[in-house]
Structure formats: C-alpha cells, structure tokens
Amino acid sequence: MRRLDKDEAEVRGILEGKVYIQTKLDGTNAVMGYDEATDTIWYGSRTRKLEGDLDNQGFKAKCKEDPRYEAFFKDHPEMILYGEWLVKHTISEYKSEAWNKFYVFDVCTMKSSEEIEYLSPDEYIPMMKQYCIDYIPVLAELTNPAEEDIRALLPEDDFLMLAEGQEEGCVIKNYNYKNCFNRITWAKIVTREFKEKANQPFKGESDGGIERKIVTDLLSKEFVDKEYAKILSENGGDFNPYMIPMTLGIVAHEFTEDNISLILKKYKRPTIDFKKLYREIETATKRFRDW
C-alpha cells in the first residue's frame, strides 16, 4: 500500500475509474486461509506464516477458537481473508469493544499456486455478513475522484472510534488498476493528526535517551531511501512485503557501521544500548518509508 501524496509512481492513475474508500485501522495486518493437505486453517502476519507457537499479538490464538472462520473455510476453501487485527499501536481512541478483533479488508481466491484474484467489496461483504465475520465497511464508492474529494470524507469517518477526527486515514482501492510495474496495489491517505501522533515519543521511554538523539540527529530519509533502492534493485525492481524487515535490518546495520566513529566523537563516547538503538532506527525507518 502506497501513499497517494508521496508515491506517485507507484499509484499513478489509481483514481481513474471506480474506486472504493475504506477506513484504515491502526492495528497489525493479519491473514488466514485453508490448507487442503492438512485440513486446517493457516494464519499469517504481514510477512510470514505463523507456524508452530508463532503468533501475531494474539491473533492466531483467538481466531483458532472462533467457529465463524471454520464455517467460512468449510464452504470456501479456495479463499484467503486479509484483515486488520486491532491491537494498540499509535491510536488508542477506539471503542473498548473494538479491540482484539479481526476486521476483514480484502478477500482473494486462489486461481493457481502463484496467482490470486481479488473480490470487490460488492462481492465479499455479503459473504462476511452471512458468516457474521467482522469487516471494514466501504466509506464511499467514487468515480474518477480528485484527492480532495477523498480527503473531504475523513473528518466524519468514525468507524469504531470514540469520536470523529481521530482515525488513521483511508485506503483507496481500484480493482481494475495495475500500476506501472504491472502490480495490483492500493493507495492510502494518512491524516495529519495521525502523522503527528506517530512521531510522538513512546510512553515510558521519556525522551528516548542518547539512542533516540543519535537517530534524530544523524539518520536521514535520504539514507533510508538509498538503502531501500539498493534492495529494490537487487530483487528485480518489484516491491514485496518481505523487503520491509529486510530494509529495517539493513538500514540499522549500515547506519551503525557508517556512523559509529562519528557517534563516539560527537557524543563523547556515550554508553549505548544497541538493542534500543536498533529499535529507534527501525522506528524512524518505518516513519520515513511510511510503513
């Protein structure tokens, strides 16, 4: 998913034709599907399958016990459910009953082992209602909208919120669209209020200490973009979700290697918690790349 206002090459033309606008929830991405070979439901996060004892903030443990999904996959074993597992991240103003639930935002069918086909909300929402599965509703259906038309919807979007104007933003989907790299991709608009919250220090970490100061002073968006461009080039030029953890790790390593002498000199040989430093680098990288 790419920013409409920042990643023009990735989403150029997505507003041409019929588009669906959905609320963007601030949780963690999750996915589930059915494995015919083992006759079981499998679970995943944004980047990996959750095998063995792996979980994604309680997503698998809770959904494994939910009969709605068993009933759904019994009737539709070829489908995959993508959604948001709503746990606390940046936004805390969701209704109390909204937390720790899986909200479907995409449904796909397996055309082959390597090809999937997206169902539109008109197709999958009736199915979600049939099985009483939670989903993110469509905020609006628009034809050839301008960005301003979509932003005008945001102030009154209060899905699951305690009050209006606190949402993360919205997702823009055009099911007849592929970008210049011949990829199906969605766009998003992030609200100013969310960006301000995302840039606030984490609670319980005061000012972030020397580790945050190092990252704030020395890590630039240009450095992050340069490392990401290398990864993109080395992997055929196409974005894949696995590039996110790869980028986080490489940026943290390269930044530390390149700057350790400067850090020791500039901050007069400070005592550094490198685990915390890497966490600060990863947080800043996500912010720069809007992940």
Same domain, 223 and 284: yes
Same domain, 232 and 108: no
Same domain, 41 and 131: yes
Q: What is the pLDDT of residue 203?
A: 43
Q: What is the pLDDT of residue 221?
A: 87
Q: Whole-angstrom Cα distance, residue 251 to residue 116? A: 32
Q: What is the pLDDT of residue 145?
A: 97
pLDDT digits (tens, 9 = 90+) for 259-277: 898 899 888 889 999 999 9
Same domain, 98 and 241: no
Q: What is the pLDDT of residue 162?
A: 80
Answer whether 7's CB lies under 8 Å from 124's CB.
Answer: no
Q: Per-block average pLDDT, block size 10, for the chain (291 residues)? A: 79 95 92 94 86 89 96 96 89 91 95 81 98 97 96 88 74 94 88 56 57 91 88 78 88 92 88 92 89 80
CATH number of the domain residue 97 falls in: 3.30.470.30
Same domain, 101 and 126: yes
Same domain, 169 and 222: no
Residue finishing a domain among 196, 226, 245:
196
Long-range contact pairs involving 265-273 (C-beta distance under 8 Å, separation at least 24)? 266/217, 267/210, 267/213, 267/214, 270/210, 271/210, 272/210, 272/211, 272/214, 273/209, 273/211
Same domain, 231 and 179: no
Same domain, 52 and 166: yes
Q: What is the pTM of this model?
A: 0.69
Is 147 domain-assigned? Answer: yes
Residue range(s) defining the domain that contains residue 105:
2-196
Our count of domains for the chain comes to 2
Same domain, 192 and 224: no
Same domain, 186 and 257: no
Same domain, 103 and 216: no
- Look at strands 79-85 and 102-110 and give their pairing: antiparallel
Is 202 domain-assigned? Answer: no
Is 201 domain-assigned? Answer: no
Residue finishing a domain among 155, 175, 196:
196
Same domain, 179 and 255: no
DSSP characters for 214-264?
A: HHHHH--HHHHHHHHHHHHHHTTT---TTHHHHHHHHHHHHHHHHHHHHHH
Q: What is the pLDDT of residue 174?
A: 97
Q: What is the pLDDT of residue 289?
A: 85
Is 217 domain-assigned? Answer: yes
Is 219 domain-assigned? Answer: yes
